[in-house]
Amino acid sequence: MAAVNTIASQTFVTLPNSIYSLTKYKAFLSLPSSSRIRIADVGARKTRTLATGAINEEIRAIPVQIGDISDQQEGRVRGNDEGFLDQPIPSTGQIVGYALESGIGDGGVGVAACSPSDSPVEVGDRDKLADRIINASIVLAAGTFAITKLLTIDRDYWHGWTIFEILRYAPLHNWAAYEEALKTNPVLAKMMISGIVYSMGDWIAQCYAGKPLFDFDRTRMFRSGLTGFALHGSLSHYYYEICESVFPFHSWWVVPAKVAFDQTVWSAIWNSIYFVTLGFLRFESPANIFGELKATFWPMLTAGWKLWPFAHLITYGVVPVEQRLLWVDCVELVWVMILSTYSNEKSEARHSEAILCEISAESVTAVPEVL
């Protein structure tokens, strides 16, 4: 009985200084115990109704699509009958579960997005596993194709050959096939080489940045490879011919002059082309692209001075004109790592900040606050 009196006093005596409240409290105490129990039960139900009303206010705007027409009146969730009030008050976790199953986060009530047993962590793990499988398939398929083409260059003449003879003559005959391609279609041959080198260079750059071997961003790798294929191979072919026409001399100073010209004029032009092309392939705005190019232009140019002057002493002093791009592309495996890092690090940082801001905004507005 003391417990009932305590509940009743906590439920109804809200204004202890009010004469009206004290009068009602004395009248309540004068009632028989059975009547006081019923009144206390009604008070508890009113308290539960207030809490349930706070929840219904938050989800009142959600359209309810239920087959029974009696369960939907002006977009409200049924909850005014006594049977519903006897149910325990839903917790915040239950509200979140209802929102996920109903598709509230996607703009309305619909088919459940995932089963209750699928947590976001499990879905993310499955996506990563699928990406790894796709990336591993691409790498293994490309590697298998390349090795097969290199080793089967003499397949039409294998009759009676031993394994030792096949491995011995394969490099020589592959080189002969490359030189033949340079004579028949030099631009396409150099485009193919540059496309492969720029794809591999970006892959190496991602692995060097800390990503596992098969967790690379294949879209980023394909963008770099497409830029190398479409632009670097063809432009470099014509650049080396123009460079020979600008410096048609054979004196001792020609090689240093070509290196200086390469590392000022040509490097500035190509670095800018590569940076801007990748920016447009990422669908960034011109303002962002040129703003980041302005910020990274000088660091990219000076970074090349640590590598290319020494490599170009061989390029312009030893290697013939038609073979220069092949030698340069071998060194490009290191240089593309630097270019790709400069080109993608700010874009990825800006993208990560946008995702974090979006997640923070959703975490504030997705779950209604239950008072």
How far, in Å, CA of 18 to CA of 296, rounded?
A: 74
Q: What pTM, to 2 d.p., does this model score?
A: 0.59
How far, in Å, CA of 221 to CA of 217, rounded?
A: 6
Q: Tell me, what's the pLDDT at 210?
A: 82
Neighbouring residues of 324: CB distance < 8 A, sequence distance ≥ 6: 240, 315, 316
How far, in Å, CA of 235 to CA of 126, rounded?
A: 42
CA-based nearest residue to 139, from 128, 147, 150: 147
Q: Tell me, what's the pLDDT at 359?
A: 62
Phi then psi for 352, rounded to 5 degrees? -65, -40
DSSP states of 9-48 = HHHH-S-TT-HHHHHHHHHHHTS-HHHHHHHHHHHHHHHH
Consecutive H or E run containing 93: helix 92-102
How far, in Å, CA of 217 to CA of 237, rounded?
A: 29
Which amino acid is located at 199 in the chain? S
Tokens 């409200």, residue located: 76
Q: Which two tokens stand for residue 28?
A: 């309540």
Q: Tell me, what's the pLDDT at 292?
A: 85
Q: Tell me, what's the pLDDT at 362?
A: 59
Question: How many Å from the N-terminal Cα to the C-terminal Cα in the chain?
Answer: 30
Per-residue pLDDT of the chain (371 residues; tens, 9 = 90+): 444 444 444 444 444 444 444 444 445 445 554 444 444 454 545 445 544 554 455 444 444 444 444 444 444 444 444 444 455 555 544 444 444 444 444 444 444 444 555 566 677 788 889 989 999 999 999 999 999 999 999 888 888 888 998 889 999 999 999 999 999 999 999 999 999 999 998 888 888 888 888 888 999 899 999 999 999 999 999 999 999 998 888 888 999 999 999 999 999 999 899 889 999 999 999 999 998 888 889 988 888 898 899 999 999 999 998 899 999 988 888 888 777 776 666 666 665 665 666 666 655 555 454 44
CA-based nearest residue to 305, from 277, 329, 335, 275: 335
Classified as helix, coil or strand, 312 is helix
Q: Tell me, what's the pLDDT at 8?
A: 43
In sequence order, which ranges of 152-184 are alpha helices (DSSP H)? 163-184
